[in-house]
Amino acid sequence: MKIFLNNREEEFNTNVLSVAKMIELRKFSFKLRIIKVNGILIPKDKYDSTFIQEGDNVLMLYLMSGG
């Protein structure tokens, strides 16, 4: 399926894609992040139970320590 990840079209070779699976497939390694799917904030405990659909708009950002 194709989704928009940070406004860029990305293809995933699966039809069932949870937020947790997306993180795993893209090898996103930092632990602290903010994820929104179609504008809705997804808390960490919902990564397994939230599924991304074809054409969804996914926003992801990493939070780096340091300030």
Note the residues at the interface with another protein (CB under 8 A): 6, 30-34, 36, 39, 41, 43, 59, 61-67
Find the shortest distance in angstroms from Cβ 19 to another protein.
14
Find the shortest distance in angstroms from Cβ 57 to another protein.
9
Contact 26, 58 (CB under 8 A): no
Q: Which is nearer to another protein, 25 or 32 (CB)?
A: 32
Rounded-to-integer distance, Cα 52 and Cα 18, Å? 6
Structure tokens that stand for 44 in this block: 């960490």
**φ, ψ of residue 12 in degrees (nearest 5):** -120, 135
Q: Which is nearer to another protein, 16 or 32 (CB)?
A: 32
